[in-house]
Amino acid sequence: MSLSKKSTIIVENLRKKQMIESISAGKRLDERSLDETRPIEIELDVIKKASGSAWVKLGKTEVVAGIKVETGEPFEGLENSGALIITAEVLPIASPHIEPGPPDEETIELARVVDRGVRESEMLELSKLVLVPGKIVYTNFVDCSIINVDGNLFDATSYAVVAALASCKLPVFEIKDDKVVDTGRTQEPPITTIPVSVTTVKIGDYLLLDPNTEEEACMDARLTITTNSKGSIVAMQKGLKGYFTVDEVKSIADKAISKGEEIRAILKEVIHHGKKE
């Protein structure tokens, strides 16, 4: 069951007033323009025990993603394809407003939206990750730990997943005497495209990219759009109780494609230089 709930973060009214005044003059309280995203910093291979990993900073939002690869049975209906499982946890270290415990609906939505963007883009060619068709496949876990929250977890987590996947080295498993063995060798992951998630929020009648916590506390609606390397849209998710007009959605989509291109260039640059050995 999903309930509408009280906001946990209350922005001071005088601050909110300033924010609206500032946005209407084309500038945000942190000096960014409305369609400006925060600086992205990515450090790859931070978890040596993982097959691939990335520590992503999007402004003050920080996410660590790590990949673990096992073998297992394929999902029903997807007998000839490897499994990809993306999870996210907003750790209680990340903000004063997080209670330890099983993931709430927001965290589950987060993991699912990030998963959808990566899965629907077919970034990882899962059909190449099959050991015994219909029986044994590679099971790829990408687990995300959010360690500091300052808004836009959707995009930050997505960048962490994409950077970790694109830079990882998968283990090579083989079947010997009907048993799966880890050969100790590694292989390049079958990457086909770089999906990029771009989130836009609406505050009053204004559209802002990459919101921070304070802006999220004032937003009416949110739209996350993931595009692939060809510039096509592969996944979307609208959130919150506000709405968008048709024209707004069209302009958000155009922006997500052009901004996605810029961010893709940043991700590619980092991945190119920092692949796991």
Partner 1 sequence: MQEIKRKYVIPGDIVAEGNLRPLVNVFRIGNSIVATRIGIAESNKDGAKVIPLSGIYFPRANDIVIGKILDHSSLSWSVDINSCFNAHLPAQDIFGRDFSPAHDDMGSQLSKGDVIVARIAIFDRTRDPILTIQDKDLGKIPTGELIKISPTRVPRLIGKRGSMIQIIEQASSTRITIGQNGIIVVSGKDKEGINLAINAIHIVEVEAHTSNLTQRIKQLLNVPESEIENDDTKRNHEINDTEMNDDKAISNKIDKEMGMMNSNGTK
Partner 2 sequence: MVQNRSLIDESGKRSDGRIIDELREIKIIVGIIKNADGSALIEFGKNKIIAAVYGPREVHPKHMALSDRCVVRCRYHMSPFSTDTRKSPAPSRRETEISKVIREALEPALMLEDYPRAAIDIFIEVLQADGGSRCAGITAASVALADAGINMRDMVSACAAGKVDDKIVIDINDTEDKEGGADMPVAYMPNLKKITLLQLDGELNSNEFKTCLEEAIRGCLKVFEIQRSSLIEKYFGDEKGLNE
Strands (E), the chain: 40-44, 52-58, 61-72, 83-90, 130-132, 136-148, 170-176, 179-187, 196-203, 206-209, 221-227, 233-239
Check: CB of residue 263 under 8 Å from CB of residue 156: no
Q: Mark 167-186 with x for binding to partner 2 (rule: CB under 8 A) and - for no binding.
A: --------------------
In this chain, which of 28, 56, 58, 66 binds partner 2, going by CB under 8 A?
66
Is 34 or 147 the residue whose CB approaches partner 2 more closely?
147
Check: CB of residue 66 under 8 Å from CB of residue 143: yes
Under the binding rule (CB under 8 A), the answer on residue 160 touching partner 2 is no
Under the binding rule (CB under 8 A), the answer on residue 175 touching partner 1 is no
Under the binding rule (CB under 8 A), the answer on residue 27 touching partner 1 is no
The interface with partner 2 within residues 94-133 (CB under 8 A) comprises 94-96, 99-100, 102
Q: Is the dihedral of CA 34, 163, 239, 29 positive or negative?
A: negative
Under the binding rule (CB under 8 A), the answer on residue 53 touching partner 2 is yes
Is 123 or 164 the residue whose CB approaches partner 2 more closely?
164
Quick one: angle between helices 105-120 and 153-167, nearest 10?
40
In this chain, which of 23, 56, 64, 83 binds partner 2, going by CB under 8 A?
64
Place of tokens 């998968």: 170
Least distance (Å) from partner 2 to the CB of residue 70? 7
Selected range binding partner 2 among 92-100, 154-162, 165-173, 221-229, rule: CB under 8 A = 92-100
Phi, psi of 150 (to 5 degrees): -140, 55
Measured between alpha carbons, how far is residue 237 from residues 23, 90, 224, 234, 256 in Å? 24, 19, 5, 11, 13
Is 7 or 192 the residue whose CB approaches partner 1 more closely?
7
In this chain, which of 12, 99, 177, 178 binds partner 1, going by CB under 8 A?
12
Under the binding rule (CB under 8 A), the answer on residue 92 touching partner 2 is yes
Under the binding rule (CB under 8 A), the answer on residue 93 touching partner 2 is yes
Q: Mark 199-238 with x for binding to partner 2 (rule: CB under 8 A) and - for no binding.
A: ----------------------------------------
Is 92 or 134 the residue whose CB approaches partner 2 more closely?
92
Rg from Cα positions in the chain: 20
Instruction: Please name the residues in contact with 238: beta carbons below 8 A apart, sequence gap of 6 or more.
Output: 221, 222, 223, 244
Least distance (Å) from partner 1 to the CB of residue 105? 23
Binding site for partner 1 (CB under 8 A): 10-18
